Amino acid sequence: MPDRNDLSEVPRPVAAGVARPGAGTPAPAGGIGAGQPAVEFRDIDIAYGKFVAVRDFSLSIAKGSFVTLLGPSGCGKTTILRSIAGLVDISGGQIMIDGRRVDDVPIYKRNIGLVFQSYALFPHKNVFDNVAFGLKYRNVPKPEIVRKVGQALEMVRLPGSEKKLPSQLSGGQQQRIALARAIVFEPQVLLLDEPLSALDANMREEMRVEIKKIQKETGITAIFVTHDQEEALSMSDRIVVMNAGAVEQIGTPQEVYETPATAFVADFLGKANMLAGTVSRSGQAMAVVLATGQTVEVACPRPLAQGSKVTVVLRPQKLSVGAAASANRLSGRVVSASYLGGSAIYEIDIGGKTSIRANAPITGRVLREGETIDVGFEPEGCVLLDEDGQRIS
């Protein structure tokens, strides 16, 4: 067995949505648009001794786009972010910004704006001096500094706060100041390292909107790191789902949610229902699958051999509770019900030691534990994975 942390022996995975450089087709990853990409990662490896933190990472990001690196702790997303900032050395590959290689360029020459999770403001400096720090370091004339700091504070909706100390500001206000400091010198790329994780739920939601609005207004290219699926889905133009130092899938929020490329993406992004089964019959566009003792029809892009082991991936929102009109119906018993206001989440035992989750709008009363219920879904409302956990295409 090869050591998965040994670069010389690790196989080079090709993630969904990624074309290898030189393979004859352009890499569509990361929000590619016309013209030269703002940022390119070319076959990046990052290792600490024998431990490989990132393997064969390739990504191309269009100018002005908002790309999120999403994954669990330890997957390599922050390491990638720190590598473009120059805070982590790469072991192999190249990092390009606007067509210029920067992985061998000193940090202070990369023109990168960085927003940290911990704000990282100077506690003894007032707001003006915190925001102006990068401009002073670049020897910008004082009148221009005053103008730019004023503009940045207007943009983050904190005008008139120049003389306040960080200790006089709330957590959300401090994060706005950190954002103003990162954008005031008009960097080529804005890096955001889990900037919302220290905020409460209401402030996180407000800051999501503010960050996205500012990114669109300035036209800056942004790379955002988070392990929060809701943040990624609501803010991103493209999402890069990472696992164990490698890319699992790249696509728009709708693509990675609706058509997960692997079992990991399906489970990590939204906790999908995953029904193991076998193919009993298959045609050109449809397959009949026996799962947990019940038969369902699912859309399938190609014929499958009878008896093939597959997994049917169903999002909770795709299940209709009590809908007799659905093409597929699964019968079960309500194990638990969680009331969410306009909707409810039901856990339903469908037999075979299998339970599924359904997120359904409330049109009448909330179902009670122990009730028998049917749930339905359409053949096109699910994704089919092979026995290796890869989407069948």
Residue 187 identity (one-letter amino acid): P
pLDDT score, position 366: 87
The residue among 261, 289, 305 that closes a domain is 261
Q: Measure the CA dihedral 141/147/150/154, to 10°.
A: -140
pLDDT computed for residue 324 by the predictor: 64
Burial class for 242, CB neighbours closer than 10 Å (0-12, 13-18, 19+): buried
Number of domains within the chain: 2
Domain encompassing residue 310:
271-385
Helix (H) or strand (E) holding 190: strand 189-193
- Do 77 and 138 sit in the same domain of this protein? yes
Clarify whether residues 170 and 230 are in a common domain: yes
In this structure, the answer to whether residues 256 and 301 fall within a common structural domain is: no
- Which residues of the chain are modeled with pLDDT < 70? 1-34, 323-325
> Do 286 and 241 share a domain, yes or no?
no
Residues ≥6 apart with Cβ < 8 Å to 360? 319, 320, 321, 343, 344, 346
Q: In this structure, are residues 43 and 28 in contact, taking their beta carbons and an 8 Å threshold?
A: no
Q: Is the pTM of this model over 0.75?
A: yes
Q: Do the domain assignments include residue 233? A: yes
User: Would 2 be classed as within a structural domain?
Assistant: no
pLDDT, position 321: 87
Domain boundary among 233, 261, 289: 261
State the Cα–Cα distance between residues 340 and 359, nearest whole angstrom.
10
Q: How many CA atoms lie within 13 A of 284 on its CB side?
A: 0
Q: Considering only CA atoms, which of 2, 1, 76, 3 is closest in space to residue 41?
A: 76
State whether 167 and 289 are in the same domain.
no
Amino acid 119: pLDDT: 81
- 14: in domain: no
pLDDT at 83: 95
Q: Which of 242, 261, 280 is the last residue of a domain?
A: 261
Asked, for residue 183, whether it belongs to a domain, the answer is yes
120 within some domain: yes
Q: Are 275 and 311 in contact (CB under 8 A)?
A: yes
The pLDDT tens digits of the residues spanning 47-71 come to: 999 999 999 999 999 999 999 999 9
**CATH number, domain containing residue 215:** 3.40.50.300
- Give the sign of the dihedral formed by CA 234, CA 236, CA 241, CA 242: negative
In a domain, 12, yes or no: no
Q: Residue 284's pLDDT is what? A: 85
Q: What is the pLDDT of residue 323?
A: 63
**251/350 same-domain check:** no
Give the pLDDT score at 199. Answer: 85
Q: Please give the pLDDT value at position 311.
A: 96
Provide the pLDDT for residue 283. Answer: 86
- The pLDDT, as a whole number, for residue 364 is 76
The pLDDT value recorded for residue 144 is: 96
Same domain, 287 and 366: yes
Whether residue 252 is found in the same domain as residue 277: no
Are residue 235 and residue 281 in the same domain, yes or no? no
Looking at residue 1, its pLDDT comes to 40
User: Do 344 and 225 belong together in one domain?
Assistant: no
Same domain for 117 and 189, yes or no, is: yes
Alpha carbon distance 89, 214 (integer Å)? 30
CATH number of the domain where residue 298 is located: 2.40.50.140
In a shared domain, residues 359 and 249: no
363 located within any domain? yes
